[in-house]
A and B are shown apart, each in its own frame.
Chain A
């Protein structure tokens, strides 16, 4: 998928697509480019989404024209395809970023506290990161292993940690790691960064999980409602109008569902990220 986005990066037309770039997409692209080491640009993502959706919709329009020779229907379907594909492709990158942000945020407090404890005990950032790398935190332990590799290769631990913190999607972890990276040089009150009451953290996590469950439920319930509504309206429509070929009606379900799900997903995840920081 990243290759696809990268291939659409044409510098000469980037200025045109720059207007459609949101700050969220810019942040997501920056994070993913650093994390996966791919050269992505937000303009490239937008260009790829637009070009692919236009290409696919025109292909579908031609196919419908060939099968049913109904111009109005082919226009309708191609417009829906453009919307569905564009929403899906442009939110794909943001979704990955937000899901990672959610994972980091969920473990942020535990990681900060663990690093704080090991740092105060060993007084070595390298040892603290090694301890973190041996832990089983999703994403974070893997990242810590990568940081250790950089330190072993000769980079100063403080610099490595600051650079890592710089592209952290979770703001809590970002600010905490930056402060911890100064620990041996400056005297920092570790307890002020890491020692939040456990009951408060537990409450926050519980709230987050119940919200996630609710969102899953909404996704599934709405995916029942959309097809049922379409199904019933289509039965009534077929009787009166010959505009829509009944065999193509389910295509409308899928396209509308893609749009609804992409929009729902985007709003859900950004709300969650706002809750946990």
Chain B
């Protein structure tokens, strides 16, 4: 019953031997692969640009704070130090700083409040939190903030670099594991499709079964249940791989692996065209 259902769904497709069908199916799969590659390339390019922009913002924030810290070290008041730092700073954040800090500073606003306000207008969370931390230090002990800022920023930079390296290593490992999972689902699909050849091969050598009718019957039943069993294995494997590599969307990965398995199975059937 179960294999009949399976056959009624898949066999009409597989039994068509027309060459155009096979060509269309192969072309469609290649097209899907090319589109997904192009999309991935576009996404990577966009992400690279974003990262570059955000990193630049962080460097600018750090250099602005360094100028401010050097004035605080000289025991100037935070507001006076901020005004001097705004004048001296000439980086890409100049416009924002002028708009948010310089204009408000002369109307009596506190330096720590202004730094806090500037942090809300930044894009990179890392630069935001560094500016917020510095604003807090300025609020508590301005001179001490100026003195110890160089050491704090050096340590934070070290941590950030190590974290970035760790994340790169993790993502490389995840990509490799993902590729491995996808390739394994491809190979599974091929194995299931080739299992019918293997059973026929055994029978031709007079090695396994009694008669041709039994062989074909068994082969069909066996292939159907093998197909389902391997689909479950693809699901389980990708779930465990995502678990061990710490990928949070394990369900998405499992579904992707399963889709690849189905596509590869259909493609293999179209290319081999078994009846």
Contact = CB atoms under 8 A, between A and B. Distances in A.
9 A-B pairs with least C-beta separation: A250-B229, A134-B129, A247-B221, A216-B177, A250-B225, A247-B225, A239-B208, A250-B226, A220-B184
A193 interface: no
Contact of B137 (A122, A209, A235, A265): A122
B262 interface: no
B169 A235 contact: no
Interface stretch (B7-15, B43-51, B159-167): B159-167
A269 interface: yes
Given A110-B162, A250-B230, A261 B125 contact: no
A163 interface: no
A121 B137 contact: yes
Contacts of B245: 212, 216
Interface in A92-146: 95, 99, 102-103, 106-107, 110, 113-114, 117-118, 121-123, 127, 131, 134-138
A134 B134 CA distance: 14
B203 to A, nearest CB: 10
A80 to B, nearest CB: 13
Contacts of B128: 134
Nearest to B210: A239
Interface stretch (A6-14, A18-26, A47-55, A251-259): A251-259
B241 A219 contact: yes
A265 B243 contact: yes
B212 interface: no
A213 B177 CA distance: 7
Nearest to A205: B166
Contact of A223 (B129, B159, B207, B233): B233
A83 interface: no
Interface string B79-107: 00000000000000000000000000000
Contact of B155 (A113, A138, A254): A113
B156 interface: yes
A215 interface: yes
B181 interface: yes
Interface hub of B137, B165, B237 (most chain A Cβ within 10 A):
B237
Interface in B169-222: 169-170, 173, 176-177, 180-181, 184, 187, 191, 195, 198-199, 202, 207-209, 218, 221-222
B129 A198 contact: no
A248 B243 contact: no
B38 interface: no
11 contacts: A110-B163, A121-B137, A134-B129, A136-B126, A138-B246, A198-B158, A201-B162, A224-B187, A235-B208, A246-B218, A250-B228
Nearest to A217: B180
B33 to A, nearest CB: 21
B61 to A, nearest CB: 14
Interface in B225-268: 225-226, 228-230, 232-233, 236-237, 240-241, 243-246
A247 B156 contact: no
Contact of B156 (A117, A227, A231, A250): A117
Nearest to A111: B159
Contacts of A127: 133, 136
Nearest to B170: A209
Given A110-B166, A131-B129, 20 more contacts: A99-B243, A118-B152, A198-B162, A213-B177, A216-B245, A227-B191, A231-B198, A236-B208, A238-B208, A238-B218, A246-B222, A247-B224, A247-B225, A250-B225, A253-B229, A253-B230, A261-B240, A265-B243, A265-B244, A269-B244
Nearest to A272: B244
A159 interface: no
Nearest to A128: B133
A264 to B, nearest CB: 8
B244 A227 contact: no
A268 interface: yes
Given A113-B159, A239-B209, A249 B125 contact: no
